[in-house]
Structure 1
């Protein structure tokens, strides 16, 4: 009986060794090609995204530069307008002073004639 059990156990172990599924074969050629294609597509998408980001950054920088130039131009216009207004005010004061001097001179002349 012991021999029968021993032979059954030995047979069980022997068949279990040969009954194992074969090891998974290395990746097949189509799978390798598909993986390479996927990697290439991912790299292409990343490059496209980086290009779009760079383009958007360039647009933002351009808009900021334009805004700065607009502000500078507005400041220059404001300074020019202030200078013109001051010149007009100075001219008006000078004319008023001249008119007052003429009026005073005429008043003195009239007073001297009386």
Structure 2
């Protein structure tokens, strides 16, 4: 998915999401966000079991503030609506895969 959701889901909608989810906070014009797309794509390739939502972030955006996002991109890895891992400005697919393993591990 190349488009950032604007607005994104609400915090209560995120908490209700079953299974593994990756929230990617950023913007389409952010250079760090664009640079991270290749490793994010590589880590999520062949993982249709993982929901990946790109959420446009910025000042006053409630979901980003709820997750205390400060830098872009920030990846929040969730299992059944609860945060299990976080990466800020990821550069390597292996680091993303390791965090993804926490979200997809049996509870």
Q: TM-score, normalised by structure 2?
A: 0.15
Greater helix share, 1 or 2? 1
Q: Which has the higher contact order (CA 8 A, sep 6+)?
A: 2
Greater strand share, 1 or 2? 2
Larger Rg: 1
